Amino acid sequence: MNLAALKNSGHLPTLITSFLYFDVSFMVWTLLGPLGVQIGESLGLNAQEKGLMVAVPILAGALLRIVLGVTVDHIGAKKTGIIAQLIVIAGLVCAWLIGLRDFHATLLMGFILGFAGASFAVALPQAGRWYPPNMQGLVMGLAGAGNIGTVLDALFAPRLAAAFGWQNVFGLALIPAVLVFFVYVIFSKEANVEVKRKKFSDYIALLKERDSHWFCFYYLISFGGFVGLASSYVLYFKSEFSLSPVHAGDLAAICTAAGALLRPVGGGLADRFGGIRSLYTFYTLAAVALVGAALAHSLYLNLATLFIASGALGMANGAVFQLLPQRFARDIGVMTGLVGAAGGVGGFYLASSLGYSKGLTGSYMVGLMIFAGLCVIAVAGLAVVKTRWRSTWGAVSNARI
């Protein structure tokens, strides 16, 4: 990974502000997950309701990524980012001052937080459009490493809730949200590139291409797995091992940090060895680790296997976005929204299915095993497409496929 090259091409302030915007947005997006134990106990929610509570922001973010993806192409990434941040800030103010009084209120708040999750469709294209094809894996990985915000959630939200009450955590979250908003407004810039304005019909048209189906599926597994696990870790460790919310949050932060920090590593490895070869390794590793977590009964063995699973899925996120700009360079804005939406759907599925698995069977094992099976299917899918990809668009790409 040639970090020095970042200084000689593109626009470093935009890359940094895109990272910060994505970071704080992810922190806010998954806030209901680390607070799930305290909110669930306060409102008397069952396992299925808690699973849906932490899953709805992920689904909302998935759907809103398409909306923001279209908006980016029409009014620009910066203006879109400003609008989305203002909506999220307004939601945090309402949750802080009014509170979440019942299960339905948590779902409504989850929808508003979806605008934070949709930042994916703004920050990544805004940063990526400044840099050449051979640096896309690194740049997308660095900008996408803003998902480290989920680590901050797990680490601090349960502690702040214990000290000040979970409702006040929404008010405290306003501090970084407002600060980053002003930094973003002042320092981020639009890339001086020609962008064809897209409509919702363009998404439908791209969905007719079979490669778009594959990319959506691969990101459904990688990003969906990462964010679904991140949103569920506190509930998982609290339920399975009777830990305090703070202790469960610490373990959640450890696991989530692996996926967040290793995303740019995955992009860099894909730049060097090829995205397809890298994804083979990452999906296989994730499948094995998830099976291990499903079968393990020891806290530390669970921690180790879930740490590996999150790390592998995080690296797979970076690898998918090393390949995506090579295949869909002219439609990267639309495709970022599409695959981002697919990733959100995967996260919604995993988080909600883990809640239903716990509620219906008394264990998370079924939910983890099914998702491990999806990772195996992803590996099989790579075997199907690799020859065609390498002999068609990969053959004329300026990057390793």
3-state class (DSSP) for residue 387: helix
Higher pLDDT, 327 or 311: 311
Nearest to 3, CA basis, from 264, 188, 332, 322: 264
pLDDT for 175: 96
CATH numbers and ranges of domains, the chain: 9-188+197-396 (1.20.1250.20)
pLDDT of 158 higher than 80: yes
Percent of residues, the chain, with pLDDT higher than 90: 62
Alpha-helical regions (H) of 98-209: 103-117, 120-128, 136-144, 149-164, 166-187, 200-207
As a whole number of Å, the CA-based R_g of the chain is 20
pLDDT of 1 higher than 60: no
pLDDT of 2 higher than 70: no
Q: Per-residue pLDDT tens for 252-272?
A: 999 999 998 898 899 889 988
pLDDT for 8: 66
Query: The tokens of 180 are what?
Result: 């980053």
List, in order, residues 6 or more apart from 358 with CB less than 8 Å away.
Answer: 47, 51, 239, 364, 367
Q: How many residues does the chain have?
A: 401
Q: Per-residue pLDDT tens for 288-318?
A: 999 999 999 999 999 999 999 999 999 999 9
Lowest mean pLDDT among 27-41, 212-226, 272-286, 382-396: 382-396
pLDDT for 74: 83
Exposure string for 147-185, b = 16+ CB within 10 A, e = fewer:
bbbbbbbbbbbbebbeeeebbebbbbbbebbeebbebbe
pLDDT for 145: 66
pLDDT for 97: 94
